[in-house]
Amino acid sequence: MSSPGQVEIAIIGGGLSGLSLAEALAETAAPPSVLVLEAAPVGSLPDHTWCFWETDDAVPRDRVSQRWPRWQVGAVGKQIRPHCPRHPYARVSARLFLSAALEQIGQAPSIRIWNDARVETLREDGDGVWMETADGRRVNARWVFDSRPPRASPVPWRQIFCGFTVRTREPVFDPEEAVLMDFREAGKGGIRFFYTLPTNHSTALVEDTWLVPAGAPAPSFPPDDARRYVETRWGATLREIAEVERGDLPMGLPAPCVKGRCLPWGSAAGAIRPSSGYALTRIRRASRRMAEHWERTRRPAMPLHHSPWWMRWMDGVFLRVMARHPERMPALFAAMFARTPPESLARFLDSNPRPTDVLRIMRALPTGLFLKHVLVR
């Protein structure tokens, strides 16, 4: 039993991974006592677009705000346009997603949330962990899941992007087709592509995305670049930029070393896929697995991995190829999208592949190049 100042599980951070875990625990037959400590009021952070390939029910279907059955990749003078109604590319609004999670969590009286609770100190003591917030609240937990952003640690690559929600005068976008990568603006000092997610014929999220190697300076994102892109690629006049969102995601974060009762969680635990920057469905599946394990054993599952060893190994080889041959990446992505059956591609990109999907991906890519980087470090 727990007293008010004591819980079985504390979750630091009420963002995607913190609330996904709390929600999965709320859905178990006998939810444990849980406290979520969030530095800001939960759900108050700026809204984001989170996208993924819908290959299972990791994200409840009623939280999806839009789906694109067709995708496009533009590279080396070609446009590849897979069509995959079975596993469409899908989008959720972070704010709506988190408020739906909060509603589910509210069904479990043993799960509480502290807003404005910035955790400042953590101290392991016997079979528990003491936490203190900036405003002096104290709590003891048997286990802590810590989803604060990973501390600055060296990563081989970063994915840095700026998304502009644009409205155009002319109806130029196709709301059925997401342009996942358009490499025509390839730049120096990193790999650059534009990403266009149409909401309707004249509104889209246009993201200027860079994959930047360690040590390279961060790109800047003048809105004029987005304007020029809308004009040249889409042949449209920009009416307005309604919103801007930015991201800087680590790619290839080293696996955290887990000791004691305080476990990293979410991005801090390697949820962001090293080769792509996607994390949403990985976090959802990891939360469900963790809650199922807790239900069976009343202990967290360890070690924490978001993908099996062979996928981590493949991602590592991919990052090495990218480091040695950044100029070849547009052609490699084009080959992968052109030669892999779309359903296999979607499951692979969603970190949810079948063995045959992996074989198809390997067949689509130049074997010699990848084999060389299996051996070369």
Ligand X SMILES: Cc1cc2nc3c(=O)[nH]c(=O)nc-3n(C[C@H](O)[C@H](O)[C@H](O)COP(=O)(O)OP(=O)(O)OC[C@H]3O[C@@H](n4cnc5c(N)ncnc54)[C@H](O)[C@@H]3O)c2cc1C
User: What are the distances in angstroms from CA 298 to CA 128, 143, 237, 290, 292?
Assistant: 14, 10, 58, 10, 10
- State yes or no: residue 17 binds ligand X (CB under 6 A): yes
Please name which of 54, 52, 79, 83 lies closest in space to residue 69, comparing C-alpha atoms: 83
Contact 252, 277 (CB under 8 A): no
Among the listed ranges 16-24, 65-73, 288-296, 356-364, the one in contact with ligand X (CB under 6 A) is 16-24
**250/373 with CB nearer ligand X:** 250
- State yes or no: residue 13 binds ligand X (CB under 6 A): yes
- State yes or no: residue 88 binds ligand X (CB under 6 A): no
Q: Which of residues 123-182 bind ligand X (CB under 6 A)?
A: 147-148
- State yes or no: residue 249 binds ligand X (CB under 6 A): yes
- State yes or no: residue 100 binds ligand X (CB under 6 A): no
Site string for ligand X, 111-130 (x = CB under 6 A): -------xx-----------
Count, residues near ligand X per rule CB under 6 A = 31
Contact 84, 9 (CB under 8 A): no
- State yes or no: residue 38 binds ligand X (CB under 6 A): yes
**12/22 with CB nearer ligand X:** 12
Contact 30, 297 (CB under 8 A): no
**34/39 with CB nearer ligand X:** 39
- State yes or no: residue 105 binds ligand X (CB under 6 A): no
Please name which of 43, 24, 20 lies closest in space to residue 32, comparing C-alpha atoms: 24
Q: Which amino acid is at 277?
A: G
Among the listed ranges 7-15, 165-173, 330-338, 340-348, the one in contact with ligand X (CB under 6 A) is 7-15
Residue in 22, 24, 25, 39 binding ligand X, rule: CB under 6 A: 39
Tell me which residue has its CB nearest to ligand X: 15
Q: Which of residues 313-332 bind ligand X (CB under 6 A)?
A: none
Sign of the C-alpha dihedral computed for residues 48, 49, 53 and 57 taken in this order: positive
- State yes or no: residue 197 binds ligand X (CB under 6 A): no
Contacts of residue 112, defined as CB under 8 A and 6 or more positions apart, other chains included, come to 34, 35, 36
ω into 353 cis (within 30 of 0):
no
- State yes or no: residue 63 binds ligand X (CB under 6 A): no
Number of H helices, E strands in the chain: 9, 17
Please name which of 107, 97, 122, 110 lies closest in space to residue 42, comparing C-alpha atoms: 97
**Footprint on this chain of ligand X (rule: CB under 6 A):** 12-18, 37-40, 45, 48-52, 118-119, 147-148, 245, 247, 249, 266-267, 271-272, 278-280
